Structure 1
Amino acid sequence: MFPKEVYIRRRNELREIMKDGIALVLGNPDAPMNCAANIYQYRQDSTFLYFFGLDHPGFAGVMDIDNNKDYIFGDDVDIDDIIWMGPQPSVKDQAEKVGIENCVGSSDLKTFVEEAMKAGRKVHFLPVYRAENKILIHELLGTSLNKIKEDASVEFIKAVVALREIKDEYEIKELERAAAVGYQMHVAAMKMAQDGVYEREVAGEVEAISLRAGGMLSFPAIVSKRGETLHNHEHGNLLKKGDLLLVDCGAETDTHYASDNTRTIPVGGKFTQKQREIYEIVLAAIDKGTELIRPGVDYRSIHLEVCKVIASGLIELGLMKGDADSAVAAGAHTLFMPHGLGHMMGLDVHDMEDLGEDYVGYDEKIQRASQFGTAYLRLGKELKPGFVITNEPGIYFIPALIDKWKKEGLHTDFINFDKVEEYRAFGGIRLEDDILVTEEGNRIIGKRIPISVEEVESVMC
């Protein structure tokens, strides 16, 4: 938890942006795994954490914009709770730590909201992703369950994005902490990637490192030798010398700030010639992205420049043909990189994605593209100092996509399908760094995880 002045400042800044009404932020309840008493590890809502800071289930927060007051709605534990959980701080004591004086019981939230509505005041709420909170919004406001996303306050969403997208000194420090744990996770994975090891053993170790550091994973780890499946959470394969292992994972601090890095490593410690050639293209692409990231540049233009590096490299290897600029303009490169270059990162590994990706990654100036592949770019808008983003190009050989394009005769002017068939079982390579946009340009968050061919092979051997 940060000093209470941080939370007070954030709530006051929101009041300066929004015009009137009350802004309702629901914290998360506990989530049962298979019965009410057997729950998943608790994770608080990130926007609630940002404004109210209390990492405890069952709370709701209200920022009264008209009357310059803030409220926490929640209940103190009773003796039954204490028997199972031990003594817990009171709601009042917790609220004081984030600069809130008005503490009200949970049952009074409905009355509070009803009175605001009767007075003709706006009740702003954000999109919600938990079923329990969807039901609560319905009960509080009468909003139809299937219209909650549609009826969420656009004014509130845009205000939250404007505040959360710029990371302050406290947040950057937490992101550095997460990055330090992420570094340990990836180096451990490199050392473990040997012939005869199962993917699940590596996945278990990287999660253990995050847990030992005091936080959970920032997202379910991707640890797979089938790296052509972009979000592959299957960990059942046995590693063999000559395989490539794609490891995409990150740590979350005890304050819930995230890291998110990817490295692709040769099982047994040495890249083959074919693997090295593709790897070097991806390495050149990530370095090009880092070179271009700076304030005032829209991230979609950086994405496209990085794609040109990938296309150029594949043309040199004979997998693509023609002119790289023309190939990227046509979208031919998306056979090999069918995703965007990166996304916002912070309290969420895909920061604020619950608010709506287009509100976070795009604006009135930069709209989402419709072209296959480029349409998956989560962040396209102009970069500002204080943004924390990922830079994660890749090259993948996806048999189903290759077959589809080949059958449909797509981009035959730019793709050498006969050569591509030689790479059909190759898998995929992705590299990913976390980047802070600064006034002068950018810097990588934390110490850069070994990334060159020589660095990776040195760690593994």
Structure 2
Amino acid sequence: MFSKDVYINRRKKLQSRVESGIILMLGNNDSPMNYADNVYHFRQDSTFLYFFGIDLQNHAAIIDIDNNKEYLFGDDISLGHIIWMGPQPTMVEKAAQVGVENVKPMTDLTKVIGDAVKQGRKIHFNPPYRGENIMLLSDLLDVHHSKVKEMASLELTKACIAIRSVKEPCEIEEMERHMATAYKMHTTAMMMAHDGVSEQEITGVLEGVSMSGGGMVSFPIICSKRGETLHNHNHGNILRNGDLLLVDAGSESPLHYATDHTRTTAVGGKFSQRQKEIYEIVLAANDTAREATKPGITYKECHLVAARTIASGLKDLGLMKGDVDEAVAQGAHAMFFPHGLGHMLGLDVHDMEDYNDTLVGYMDEMERSSQFGLSALRLGRTLEKNWVVTNEPGIYFIPALIDTWKAEGKFTNFINYDKVETYKDFGGIRLEDDILITENGCRILGERIPITIDEVEATVKG
């Protein structure tokens, strides 16, 4: 938990951005895995964690804008719970830690919200994503559960996005400190990338490294020699010399801030000439996109910088042809680069996307593209100082996509399908860093994980 003043100041900022009414924030509860007492790992709601800091089950909070009061709802635990869980701070003690004066039992939440509904007061809440909280809101507001999400407050959501996008010094320090765990995760994967090792074995070790560093993984690990599948969560393959191992993995810090990196490694520590050629294009895209990243520029333009670098490199290899700028404008490059350059990073690995990824990633006056590939860009808006974003270009040879576009005759003036056919067994390469937007540019958070061909080969062999 950060200092009390951090949470007090965050709530003050929020109050200044919401005109009137009450703000309702629900924490998360345990969710049963297969029976009531065997639960999934608890993860607190990020918005509740950001504004109230309490990382425990069965809490809710209200900020009364009109009367300038804050309330924390929850119950002191019984002796029976103490026997199983150990001593816990009282509600009053927890409230004091985050600067809240008013404490109420959880049962009072129904009455407080019910009274507000009767008075016709505006009740602000963010879009819920857990079934338990959707049902609780349904009961509190006395509406059918299917209507709950459409009642979420756009005013509150936009206010939360504006505040949480800009990372405070304490957040940057927490994220930077935890980058050491990310570094260890990915260098460990590289050192394990040898003939005969299973993807599952590496995945299990990486989860252990994350837990040893302070927290669970920030998303299910992608660890596969079939890197052309963008979110490949199958870990059933055995590595062989000559394979490329793509590892997209992150860890949560003790305060739940996420890391998110990708590295692609030559199994056995030696890239083939063909692998080197594609790898160098992706690395160049990573570097040129980062060099373009600074306050005042849209991340859509950074994405297009990466796309043009990729298209130019593939043209040099004979896989693409024609005018590079026109190829990118029409989206021909997206057969090889079908996703966006990156996304926000913070308390969520895709920060705040429980609100709505377009609201988070695009400005009111900026329409999200419907073009294949570009439509998958999660962050397109103008960058600001102290945002943290990911930079993750990639090149993939996806047989089903190649076959479909070839059969449709798409972009034959930009894609050399005869040569592309010879790469259908290649797989995919992605290289991802976490970057902080600074006063005049950006910088990589933490020590950069080995990324050049020489660095990666040396790490595998080391």
In the alignment, which residue of structure 1 is the partner of 2:428? 428
Counterpart Cα distance in 2 of 1:296 and 1:223: 35
Q: What is the 5 A alignment of 1:59-458?
A: 59-458=59-458
Paired residue secondary structure (1:439)? coil
1:251 Cα deviation from its structure 2 partner = 1.0
2: distance between equivalents of 1:238 and 1:432?
24
Preserved contact between residue 392 and residue 433 of structure 1 (Cα < 8 Å): yes
Match of 1:19 in 2: 19
TM-score normalized with structure 2 length: 0.99
Deviations 1:286-332, CA, capped at 9 Å, x for gaps: 00111000000011011011100000000011111111101000100
Q: How many equivalent residue pairs?
A: 461
Q: Deviations over 1:172-222 (max 9, x none)?
A: 011112211100100111100000000011111111111111211111110
DSSP-derived class of the 1:223 partner: strand
- Equivalents in 1 of 2:445, 2:146: separation in Å? 40
State the TM-score, normalized to the length of structure 1. Answer: 0.99
SS in structure 1 at match of 2:229 = coil
Partner amino acid, structure 2, of 1:165? S
Give the distance between the partners of 2:263 and 2:205, measured in 1 at CA: 16
Displacement of 1:147 after TM fit?
2.6
**Residue 200 of structure 1 contacts residue 236 of structure 1 at CA under 8 Å; is this kept in 2?**
yes
Displacement after TM superposition at 1:433 (Å): 0.4
**Equivalent-residue separation in structure 1 for 2:337 and 2:283 (angstroms):** 14
Letter in 2 for 1:222: I
Distance 1:106 1:93 in 2: 16
Say if 1:300 and 1:143 are closer, same or farther in 2 by CA, change over 3 A: farther
Tell me which amino acid in the other structure corresponds to 1:47. Answer: T
Tell me the distance in 2 between the aligned counterparts of 1:214 and 1:237: 29
Structure 1 residue 82: Cα displacement = 1.5
Measured in 2, the distance between the counterparts of 1:400 and 1:62 equals 50
The residue number in structure 1 matching 2:56 is: 56
- Paired with 1:29 and 1:89, the residues of 2 have a C-alpha distance of 18
Cα contact 1:365–1:381 (8 A) shared by 2 = no
What secondary structure sits across from 1:34 in the alignment? strand
**Which deviates more, 129-138 or 365-374?**
365-374
Residues 345-378 of structure 1: CA deviation (Å, up to 9, x unaligned): 0000000000001110011232210101100100
Q: For the residues of structure 2 that align with 1:370 and 1:2, how far apart are their CA atoms?
A: 41
Distance in structure 1 (CA, Å) of the matches to 2:379 and 2:149:
21
Q: Structure 2: which amino acid aligns with 1:174?
A: E
Q: How far did 1:117 drift?
A: 1.9
Deviation per CA, 1:233-275, whole angstroms, max 9, x where unpaired?
A: 1111000000000000011011000100000000000100000
- Contact 1:73–1:109 (CA<8 Å) still a contact in 2? yes
Question: How much has 1:151 moved relative to structure 2?
Answer: 1.6
Q: Say if 1:304 and 1:143 are closer, same or farther in 2 by CA, change over 3 A.
A: farther
Distance of 1:449 and 1:166 partners within structure 2: 25
Is it true that 1:7 corresponds to 2:7 in the alignment?
yes
Q: What's the offset of the Cα at 1:101?
A: 1.3
User: Sequence identity, in percent?
Assistant: 58
Distance 2:361 2:231 in 1: 20
Q: Deviation per CA, 1:27-78: give whole Å up to 9, x if none.
A: 0000111001001111000000000000001101111111111111111111
Q: Secondary structure at the match of 1:106?
A: coil
* Gaps in structure 1 of 5+ consecutive residues: none
Per-residue deviation, 1:149: 2.2
- Return the letter of the residue paired with 1:80: G
Question: Match of 2:185, SS?
Answer: helix
Partner secondary structure for residue 353 of structure 1: coil
CA distance in 2, matches of 1:367, 1:75: 45
Aligned partners of 1:356, 1:211: CA distance in 2, in Å? Answer: 29
Moved more, 229-238 or 75-84: 75-84
| Farther-moved stretch of structure 1 (136-145 vs 257-266) | 136-145
What is the SS of the residue equivalent to 1:355?
coil
Amino acid of the structure 2 residue aligned with 1:70: E
Q: 1 CA distance for matches of 2:147 and 2:371?
A: 29
Which stretches of structure 1, 4 residues or more, deviate above 3 A after TM superposition?
none
| Distance in 2, Cα, partners of 1:233 & 1:457 | 25
Q: Give, in whole Å, the separation in 1 of the partners of 2:229 and 2:148.
A: 33
- Give RMSD over aligned pairs: 0.8
Report if the CA contact (8 A) 1:390-1:435 is conserved: yes
